[in-house]
Chains A and B, each alone.
Chain A
Amino acid sequence: MNTVTLADIPLLWRAESLAPVQSQCVSTGYQPLDRALGGGWPLPSLIELLCDDHGIGELRLLVGLLRTAQGASALTAPKIVLWLSPPFELHAIALTQYGLAPNDHWVCSISQPADLQWAMTQALRSGACLAVIAWTRHLKPAALRTLKLAAMTGRSVGVLFRPTSETRLASPATLRIALRPQVDELELAILKMQGRRPSIVRIAPSDVDRVTREAR
């Protein structure tokens, strides 16, 4: 009986052998994370953040993404950020403290999962949104693929916050990160990143605060 090693199969490719897929990235504001992601948040993309708790620094992760792109498009009208079904209210003053314009942040609470998926798809596809950030529970793989395609069409970033129970399910997202709070820091397990290997990064979420204060 012949034995076939993986290397013999002609059509098999390894993840590392891929050239960097993402042409454009936005710095996260955390150097270790930038290094692990190969430059920063990929753009356009569908990003999945898996976490069960709120208040562990999950939004501060995204501040870099939201701020850079808002500043970059100074010539044109700023794009909007759409928040779909956030668990709590957003604090407008905190947004201004991070250098974001609250007027460009739209909030929409949607109870039906199908409606939420529709709204997210439309917003991503429209090209008017810089990012669409949504909190959902279960989504079918087909729905995720639709969202990713919409994000690519509209050149925007879709961010999905999902419970960690979804970790084991496969997903077509560009990037999947599981967030685990530690005592003074946040452990980011990069489960999937297109064109890169999975890794684990530890960051202190207060970093971004210090950086913005120095910037003033």
Chain B
Amino acid sequence: MAASAQLLLFEVPARPVTPPPRLTESLPAPPPAPSASRRRSQAWLALHFANLSLAAAYNAAPLDRRAMLDGSAWAVIDDDRLKHVVACNEQAWNQGVRPGHRMNAAIALCSSLTLISRDASAEARLLERIADECLKYTSAVSMQPPNEVLLEVRGSFRLFGGHAALMERIQADLSGLNAGLQLALAPTARSAQWLARAYSAPRVCLPRELAEALGSLPIASLQWPLPIELQLTRFGVTTLADLMRLSRKDLARRIGAGPVRELQQAMGRTAWLHHGWSTPPSYHDRILLDFEIETTALLEKLLERPLARLKRTLIGSARSIDELLITLKHREGSTPVAIRLQQATADTAHVATLLREHLDRLVLRAPVREVLIDAPRLLVAHPRNQSLAMDPATRTDVPSASELKARLLEQLQSRFGVNAIRALTVRAHHLPERAQCAEPPSQTLTAISTPPRLPRRPLWLFREPRPATREYRQGMFRIESSPETIETEAWEGASVRRAYYRARRRDGVACWIFRDLMSPHQWFVHGLFG
């Protein structure tokens, strides 16, 4: 069969799989075939990191120390009483150091061995980072501490060009970590996990060879608790095939229900529920400075890289932010800088320009020692439809008009304050000075229709009418229109009665003047026909 021949590319020939035929007959029929017909079959890819503690320790080390570690033999030791070696690099391995050795034994084998104590939290963080990275291959990611990640990749085969290409790609992407990645693809999550633990080379297991592939696994490679392992050895059980031959009920009584359930899960007879991994709901980053910063210009430069990192995270997980808090920590106290966006975005270049405005206005009261970047919530991004890259006019990423508006508003507001920019609104009121208000622009402002038969109003309006009785008496104004009388009702507060005219001043300026009918012969200028 062509398909199976292709799948066997990753098969490890070191251990030929030839279980005795009589055993397979006594086994129940392999389950994945019927289950595939009932619901969509699954393909689980297990990522087992044999040297995760080594990679975590290496990543946590500062740069100069890493260079030192590159050239020498080193090992990670556990925190227990005897200080067992957890993992060691290749040079230490060549000198005979093995994981599981006691510290004294390891030093006896290799006198120049550098020892680093294990950092469990760094390992957990590294695994979380890997799980985040894996979200780009599939959305069904499950983290299995301490050192495994499970991916359900059935839906991703077509996108990545088949399982072989996908596995190659994952290997290439994660090879920089040097965490001893072991990959296995299998129909069930548990079997993929076991295969990944057992084989250092990538391994593919088809649904119909599941029982066969599992049967050949030695019990020792399953990483079960040591007492169970020893007990099974006493029974004479060395491989999973031996185990499967035993009665499930008796086995559960003798070694506990846990391993038996795991076996059932591996065979796909019972479900294994795991917690899915998804992007955390918020983002935090911390930049510890080696030196104190006293100018904001330097800060801008310094924040470029963390912002680029934020952008990668956002784009990788299809998220966007609408708020970013930057805390500048001083020797005592801190200065918060909050950037709030009108529209959620993943474009940190825009955030950087806003940040520049904020920092330009900011006066540092003390040198900065540390910078915290927090995005309190990551929102699900809604990417726009984009045309194919054929059309040169639309090839560049053109933001929509409302987005441009929001960006300009944010930019102006971050420099001049939130209340500096105001949009005009018409309000239903008779008095001209109260018939409009200026509010910070927003999407919710609604237009009110004005009466169609109003006489022409001036474009310039004075906030307060200016008295012009004397100029009027001197004959400065020439009235050019019939009066427009504006009266407010008694219940609208101060009673107002005015007769408005359009008048031209002697110097050619067209004014909107009114006579106060409450106190006769008082004239005021209220606007200009600009």
Contacts and interface: CB of A to CB of B under 8 A. Distances in A.
Given A91-B432, A105-B424, A128 B508 contact: no
Contact of B432 (A77, A93, A209): A93
Nearest to B424: A102
A141 B445 CA distance: 39
A94 B459 contact: yes
Interface of B: 400-402, 404-405, 407-409, 411-412, 415-416, 420-426, 432, 435-436, 438, 441, 445, 447, 449-450, 452, 454, 456-463, 507-511, 527-530
A90 B461 CA distance: 6
B456 to A, nearest CB: 6
Given A59-B460, A108-B421, A96 B401 contact: no
B450 A103 contact: no
Contact of A88 (B404, B452, B461): B461
A89 interface: yes
A95 B459 contact: yes
A78 B421 CA distance: 18
A60 B459 contact: yes
A209 B456 contact: yes
Contact of A107 (B411, B438, B511): B438
Contact of A115 (B404, B415, B424): B415
Given A58-B530, A91-B458, A92-B426, 4 more contacts: A53-B508, A60-B530, A91-B461, A103-B441
Given A58-B530, A92-B424, A95-B424, A119 B400 contact: no
A135 to B, nearest CB: 11
A118 B415 CA distance: 10
A170 B276 CA distance: 68
B398 to A, nearest CB: 9
A127 B404 contact: yes
B240 to A, nearest CB: 64
Closest 5 interchain pairs by CB? A55-B528, A181-B508, A128-B404, A59-B530, A92-B436
Contacts of B415: 115, 118-119
B401 A128 contact: yes
24 contacts: A53-B509, A55-B458, A55-B510, A56-B530, A57-B510, A60-B459, A77-B402, A78-B401, A88-B463, A88-B527, A92-B426, A93-B435, A93-B450, A94-B458, A95-B459, A101-B447, A102-B425, A103-B441, A106-B409, A106-B423, A108-B421, A122-B408, A181-B509, A209-B456
Contact of A97 (B438, B454, B460, B510): B454
A182 interface: yes
Nearest to B402: A77
Nearest to A73: B401
Interface in A107-128: 107-110, 115, 118-119, 122-123, 126-128
B510 A122 contact: no
Given A57-B529, A128-B401, A89 B458 contact: no
Nearest to A86: B460
A5 interface: no
Given A54-B528, A107-B422, A110-B416, A89 B508 contact: no
A93 B426 contact: yes
A24 interface: no
A93 B454 contact: yes
A102 B424 CA distance: 5
Contacts of A77: 400-402, 405
A183 to B, nearest CB: 6
B407 A94 contact: no
Nearest to A186: B508
A78 B443 CA distance: 12
B510 A56 contact: yes
Contacts of B511: 55
A101 B457 CA distance: 15
B434 to A, nearest CB: 11
B416 A119 contact: yes
B410 to A, nearest CB: 11
B422 A97 contact: no
A49 B225 CA distance: 86
A47 B426 CA distance: 29
A71 B462 CA distance: 29
Nearest to A180: B508
Contact of B422 (A87, A106, A123, A209): A106
A118 B356 CA distance: 13
Contacts of A98: 459
A78 B508 CA distance: 35
B530 A57 contact: yes
A55 B509 contact: yes
A89 B412 contact: no
A216 interface: yes
A118 B353 CA distance: 13
A128 B426 CA distance: 23
Nearest to B456: A209
B425 to A, nearest CB: 6
B333 to A, nearest CB: 29
A129 interface: yes
Contacts of B401: 73, 76-79, 128
A151 interface: no
B450 A122 contact: no
Given A56-B510, A91-B459, A103 B412 contact: no
Contact of A90 (B400, B424, B509): B424
Contacts of B462: 88-89
A181 B240 CA distance: 101
A80 interface: yes
Interface centre among B412, B415, B425, B509 (most CB of A within 10 A): B412
A74 to B, nearest CB: 12
Contacts of B449: 96
A54 B420 contact: no
A88 B528 contact: yes
B461 A89 contact: yes
Nearest to B461: A91
A108 B440 CA distance: 10
Contacts of A57: 510, 529-530
A108 to B, nearest CB: 5
Interface in A2-58: 53-58
Nearest to A119: B412
Contacts of A55: 458, 460, 509-511, 528-530
Contacts of A122: 408, 411-412
A77 B454 CA distance: 28
Given A54-B509, A57-B510, A58-B530, A107 B405 contact: no
A153 to B, nearest CB: 13
A108 B416 contact: yes
B431 to A, nearest CB: 11
Contacts of B411: 122, 126
A190 to B, nearest CB: 20
